[in-house]
């Protein structure tokens, strides 16, 4: 560390395909102090900048530093390392409840999906392979992002910049894939609350509000109508090895969480994912043992661009199938840590494991 650096911190954010680093530091410059930062994908060239174009007194620089780090931890970044001459206190608000909650999908089989493909009362959208994220822009321009549990999470700077250009307050629901936000529902618009409006009306408002910025880091999810178009769309997604397709009832109002029974939002998955608890790190290997309900379901290799998760953390894996009840996940692929899933949800029944079909 340079002799000019009196305090520094490294923050990391991992989720879906995101693996990002944010560094901040207080440094001496002449008779004053500046707050500098660097950010980017871990292992890549970092973008750099400063929060203080002119040197400040130490107390003022510390205040800028604290606010900067607090803003990143509120977004979902986690402290990885820090050093320096002085211990500058940083408030962390990692578990702040935003009050936002998503409407969740129930799963359907190929056979059950046939009815929703035929019906003109249902539309179809791609099921994206990312992390659920709701975004709320207040009347004063403040942007809040939340995960499926309602906790404040990181909003990529490119997404925040695109949404800053949207006029008026709104709340949108969608999926964050890397640094791109795919919006598929509008809960609140500049005209008011839409939760009791039919999905067709919410979808139209979504296009009206976010359509002008669609194609940047924000994308309004393409929606398909009609039996033949939905069937072709589904097969195109399947052929492209996408995660799946979602069917939505055009006449349904918004409801929080997962509905009892079929519900107004249904997902047909083409391949399986599972949230598991890390039981232990395998000695001398970049792999961990996975558990569901306290029982082992095999191990998964951790790619070199990910940190090895700790025992007790919840992680997401992709797999082909499970040979049978009590068996292991076949060909698991590590997708990352899930801080929006509780360990209590990691059971065989809650994860709805896919078992290998009988010969």
Q: What are the structural domain ranges in the chain? A: 5-84, 103-269, 272-351
For residue 135, the tally of other CB atoms under 10 A from its CB is 25
Q: Could you tell me the CATH superfamily of domain 5-84?
A: WGR domain (2.20.140.10)
Predicted pLDDT of residue 261: 78
Query: Does 272-351 match 103-269 at the fold level?
Result: no
Percent above pLDDT 90 for the chain? 50
Bridge partner residues of 317 (DSSP): 274, 334
Q: What is the pLDDT of residue 188?
A: 96
In the predicted structure, residue 145 carries a pLDDT above the cut 80: yes
What percent of the chain shows pLDDT beyond 70? 92
33: enclosing H helix or E strand: strand 32-41
For residue 194, pLDDT over 70 is answered with: yes
Dihedral angle, C-alpha 160, 161, 166, 169, nearest 10 ° = 30
Looking at residue 289, its pLDDT comes to: 96
* CATH 2.40.50.140 for the 272-351 domain, yes or no: yes
Q: What is the pLDDT of residue 92?
A: 46
The pLDDT-based confidence of 288 (bands split at 50, 70, 90) is very high
- Asked if the model's pLDDT at residue 62 lies above 90, the reply is no
Least confident of 6-15, 85-94, 285-294, 317-326: 85-94
pLDDT at 119 over 70: yes
Instruction: Please state the rounded mean pLDDT for residues 268-297.
Output: 92
110 within 8 A of 268, measured Cβ to Cβ: yes
| 357 Cβ neighbours under 8 A, 6+ residues apart | none
Whether domain 103-269 has CATH 3.90.650.10: the reply is no
The mean pLDDT value of the chain amounts to 87
Task: Tell me the two tokens of residue 152.
Answer: 């404040």
Which segment, 5-14, 22-31, 147-156, 181-190, is predicted with the most confidence on average? 181-190
């Amino acid at each position: 560390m340079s002799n000019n650096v009196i305090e520094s911190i490294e923050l990391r954010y991992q989720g879906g395909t995101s693996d990002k680093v944010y560094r901040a530091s207080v440094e001496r410059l002449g008779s004053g102090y500046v707050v500098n930062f660097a950010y980017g994908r871990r292992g890549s060239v970092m973008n750099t900048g400063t929060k203080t174009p002119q040197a400040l007194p130490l107390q003022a620089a510390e205040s800028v530093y604290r606010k900067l780090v607090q803003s990143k931890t509120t977004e979902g970044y986690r402290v990885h390392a820090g050093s320096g001459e002085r211990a500058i206190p940083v408030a962390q608000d990692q578990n702040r409840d935003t009050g936002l909650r998503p409407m969740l999908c129930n799963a359907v089989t190929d056979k059950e999906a046939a009815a929703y493909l035929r019906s003109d009362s249902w539309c179809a959208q791609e099921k994206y392979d990312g992390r659920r994220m709701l975004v709320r822009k207040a009347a004063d321009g403040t942007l809040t992002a939340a995960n499926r549990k309602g906790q404040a999470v990181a909003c990529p700077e490119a997404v925040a910049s695109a949404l800053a250009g949207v006029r008026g307050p709104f709340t949108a629901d969608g999926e964050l894939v890397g640094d791109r936000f795919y919006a598929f529902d509008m809960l609140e618009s500049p005209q008011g609350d839409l939760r009791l409006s039919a999905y067709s009306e919410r979808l139209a408002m979504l296009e009206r509000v976010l359509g002008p910025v669609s194609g940047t880091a924000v994308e309004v999810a393409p929606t398909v109508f009609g039996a033949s178009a939905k069937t072709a769309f589904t097969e195109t997604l399947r052929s492209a090895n996408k995660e799946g397709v979602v069917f939505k009832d055009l006449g349904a109002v918004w409801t929080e969480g997962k509905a009892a029974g079929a519900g107004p939002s249904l997902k047909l998955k083409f391949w399986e994912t599972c949230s598991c608890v890390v039981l232990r790190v395998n000695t001398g290997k970049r792999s961990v043992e996975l558990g569901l309900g306290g029982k082992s379901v095999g191990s998964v290799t951790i790619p070199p661009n990910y940190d090895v998760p700790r025992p007790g953390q919840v992680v997401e894996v992709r797999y082909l199938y499970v040979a049978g009840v009590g068996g292991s996940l076949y060909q698991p692929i590590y997708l990352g840590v899930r801080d929006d899933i509780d360990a209590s949800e990691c059971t065989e029944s809650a994860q709805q494991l896919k078992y290998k079909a009988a010969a």
